[in-house]
Structure formats: C-alpha cells, structure tokens
A and B are shown apart, each in its own frame.
Chain A
Amino acid sequence: MMKLAIVETKLLTREPGALFSLLIPLFILVVFGSSIEPGDTVLLPMALAIAVGLVSLYLLPTTLATYRERGILRRLSTTPVRPGNLLMVQLLLQLVLAVTACGLLMAVAGTVLGAHLPSRVLSGVLVFLVGTASMFAIGLLIAALAPNGRAANGIGVLLYFPMAYLAGLIQPTHQMPAIVAAIGEYTPLGAFGRSMRDVWAGSAPSPLLLGVMAAYALVISIAAAKFFRWE
C-alpha cells in the first residue's frame, strides 16, 4: 500500500497535467493580481476555485478512466492487492494536489501580491473540504461513465467551462444576468466560490451553501459508485 502510494506519487509528478493544474491558476492569479486593490476578497477565492475545478474535472477523471481503459485495475484484481486500494491512493493524491495548488496560491498571493488572507481559517478549511468533495464526486462520476481516458478528458473539459462560467470565474457574477448568477450560486463550483468569497470577506459561510455542496458530494459520489465499472 505504501509502495503503491509512492509509485502513484512519482507517476503524478511525471504527468504534465498535474503541473498545469498548479500553474494555470497561479498564472491567472499573478496576471490579474498586479491590478487588484489591497484588501481584495475576490481574486484569490476565484483562483482557488479554478485550481480545485481543474484537478477534479480534468486530472482525476482522466487518470482513473485511463487506468480502467488500460486494464490496470483488472490486472490489479489478479494480485493479492485489491484495485480499490489504487482508487483510494489516487483520491488521496489528487486531494494532496488540490491542497498543494491552493497552498501555493495563498503563499504567492500572501507574500508577493500582498493579498488579503482570511482570519476565519477553520471556516476556510471547511469550505475547501466540502467544496472539493462535491467537485471530486463529479470527477468520479465522469470516470465512471466515460468509456476511456480520452473521453473522460473531453467530458471534463466540456463540463469545466460552463461550470466555471456559472461560478463567476469567467465573468464576474455582478455582470452576469441576475437569474444566471442566482442559479450559478447553487452549482458545486459556484457554491464553492461564493462560500470562499464570504470567508474572505470575513463572514461565516452560508450553511445553506455548505449543505448544498455536501448534498452534491453525497448524491453524485453514490451515483459514481453505482455506475463505476472495473473493466
């Protein structure tokens, strides 16, 4: 199990996609960061949502669907190790990657850009965990339904843009049609971004939005487990 984790970590570091998931949100942060006002509470939460979105919609489903497509999960089922272990290791690793991406963003924003970091640390961690769980559930569902790695990649990218738009990551929410912005707030990524902005603004995250994210995480991951095929 330990060796599996080490090998999978090595493989992740050799995956260019992992580097992109770290660098794209950082790039956006730095480009837009130069023009923000001190005390900005929008840009950093936005970058965090982009990072979590990329990992869960792009990297996670592509990796898992590729493992199934290449028969790696099936090959593993002929050994004393259960293929479920590989899924667990992958989930943990992708979580670590998401945490790393967010940590990197906060470190750069907090030091170089002098951005505002929230005082409500626990609330921030809670929002991160529940929001990431709901996004990972979507990634797992894509992995369950996609026939192969390529398809998983395509579906992930196709889902990413509308979700990012609804979450106000492409156009600021106050410039969006009110109804779209209102709906967007209840999408997984939208609820995540909104709750993060609340935390950044110094208020408690909305229990309703936390509940919405938790519900997404639960329902979608049950669906993913139901549809998942090992081969």
Chain B
Amino acid sequence: MAVIEVTDLRKRYADLTVLDGVSFSVEEGEIFGILGPNGTGKTTTVESVEGLRRPDSGSIRVLGLDPFEDGPKVRELIGVQLQQTQLPENLKVWEALDLYASFYAKPHDWRELLEEWGLADKRNARFGKLSGGQKQRLFIALALVGNPRVAFLDELTTGLDPQARRATWELIKQVRASGVTVVLVSHFMDEVEELCDRVAVFNHGKVVAIDSPAGLVGGEHRMRFTLMAGDMVGLEGLPGVTGVSREGDRVVVSGRGDFATAVTAHLARHQVLVSDLRLDRRTLEDAFTALTGRSFG
C-alpha cells in the first residue's frame, strides 16, 4: 500500500522554479530516500508533504489524506525532524518529550523512548548542554513520540562525526523494524546506500530516477589491466562478461557478478601475464553523476 503519493508537484518563487513536476510514491514499511545536492527541491518537496509549504499545483496524499485539507488528521499521523531546528536552551530532555507527547491523541510512552534512544541518563539535562549526537537522538525521539505511521527525517546526520553517524543509522533501521515508514532526506551517498530501500534522485526540481540503491548502481563493474606477455582470446565468452575493449596493450573488461574471478582464471590458464590490474566498482556516486551530469559537492 502506498503511504505517500505525490503527483506532479510544481512550485515557483519569482523567477526560480523549485519543483518542476515531482512525482513519487512511498510504500508502507520502507525507508524511502530523497537524494540530491542542496537546492534541488528535496526539502521543499518534503515540507509540502508535511503540509508546511503549499505547492502551486499537483496532488499530495498522505495515508489517503490531503495535508492541506485534512491538516489536523495528517499531523496526528506523521512525525517530523526538521533541518536546522532547535529547542529552547533551558528545556530539559524529559520536558521536551513530555510536552511533545501531550500534543498527540495517542502518544508513545516517552519514558520508553528515553531508554530506546539512549537518553535515560540525560533526562534532566538541558537541551543547550547536549552534544550534537544527543540532540539528534532527541529530535528523532520527538519525531516518534506521537506514534506516527510515517517519520520524516531531514538531513539527519549533517554535522555529526563518523561514529555518531553510524550509530544514528542503526537507530533508523530500528525505526523501520518497528513498522514506521521512514522518509529520509539526505545528500550523503553512503547514508542512502546503507539505509534506503528505494531512492528518488532529485535534480533541478525533478525526480530523475527512482530505484533501489543497487538498482541505481546497476551492478556493472569494470576490470582494467595492461598486457605484458601472451595474447588473450575468448574473454568475451566468459560467464558474466558483458564487454571487452582493447587499446594497444590496455584492456578494459566490463561485467556483472563474479566475472573478475572467471577472467583472472582464464588469463592464468592461457599463461597471459598482466600488470596494473584494477577492479572499479561503480558506486551510487557514479550512478548519480551519470543521471544528473553533475558531481556531488
């Protein structure tokens, strides 16, 4: 079942087209990634779905409801972590959770969330005294305190150190495991590759591709080497090999799956000596560059 359906969203600010016909749907129980460089309409799209920003045209359904017509109902069902929001410096962790729990009809027990998100020993700490990672965990807990069906997490790990990022990723997987659908806005390739079931790639206000991270990468890799001695024959027929090209003594073999083992075994059997052997794995970043024609800053 589609939890979110977005059809042909458009939004202009003066001369600037921010959203140029964005469509996608999010299935129940998945982590759906929204990937793209800054300024490509990711946040505008998500804020439209959350009912914060009204698009010029297009339709949005969240659990079958319109976030602008049925705003109160939708807000009961979603949990949001916004990019760049803060809490009052002097608000204590438990007070924040207790307060936000009181906004919802059927809140989650915030004491449990304190435990789950590793904030139990910080319950009386003031927001201003928390570390970046602790603040981030509190924001996720606040996004979940209303028992949402869908959680929106925007630029979750920006500004966190690598260790804190990894820890946060594990927590996001827990959220999915608890049955909550997650929409994750990110401009980090590794994060999306690690977490997302499916990804919408944004570029210039459009969705240029929607697929699983593996599907986007395409699974094709390249093997490069320089011929030293012997002549190579019959590489094309090996299992997994999709193409062979040769320029002088430089050879590039492309293929899928375990083709590299087949190639090296074949070369050894025919006593072909090679040097500078390299295997290039295509990454999500390569896929992104190919899709959008721009590299990731």
The size bracket of the interface on B is 20 to 34
A14 CA to B82 CA, complexed, in Å:
26
A3 CA to B88 CA, complexed, in Å:
15
Contact partner of B85 (CB less than 8 A), chosen from A4, A15, A74, is A74
- Are B85 and A70 in touch, CB under 8 angstroms? yes
Contact partner of B99 (CB less than 8 A), chosen from A7, A15, A66, is A7
Q: A7-B95, A77-B52, A79-B75 in contact; A72/B88 too (CB < 8 A)?
A: yes
A10 CA to B103 CA, complexed, in Å:
18
A175 at the interface (CB under 8 A from B): no
- The tally of CB-CB contacts under 8 A between chains A and B is 56
- Are B90 and A71 in touch, CB under 8 angstroms? no
Contact partner of B103 (CB less than 8 A), chosen from A15, A66, A67, A81, is A81
Q: A75-B85, A79-B75 in contact; A7/B91 too (CB < 8 A)?
A: yes
By DSSP majority rule, is chain B's interface helix, strand, loop, or mixed?
loop
Chain A neighbourhood of B75, CB < 8 A: 78-80
Contact pattern, A 15-43, Cβ under 8 Å of B = 1, otherwise 0 = 10000000000000000000000000000
A4 CA to B51 CA, complexed, in Å:
22
A15 CA to B103 CA, complexed, in Å:
24
Q: A11-B88, A72-B85 in contact; A78/B52 too (CB < 8 A)?
A: yes
Besides the contacts A15-B90, A75-B82, A78-B80, what 7 more A-B pairs have beta carbons closer than 8 Å?
Answer: A4-B99, A67-B88, A70-B88, A72-B86, A72-B88, A74-B82, A80-B104
10 shortest interchain CB distances as A-B pairs: A71-B85, A70-B86, A78-B80, A3-B102, A14-B90, A79-B103, A81-B103, A75-B85, A80-B75, A7-B99
Partner-B contacts on A (CB < 8 A): 3-4, 7, 10-11, 14-15, 66-67, 70-72, 74-75, 77-81
Partner-A contacts on B (CB < 8 A): 50-52, 72, 75-76, 78, 80, 82, 84-88, 90-91, 95, 98-100, 102-105, 146
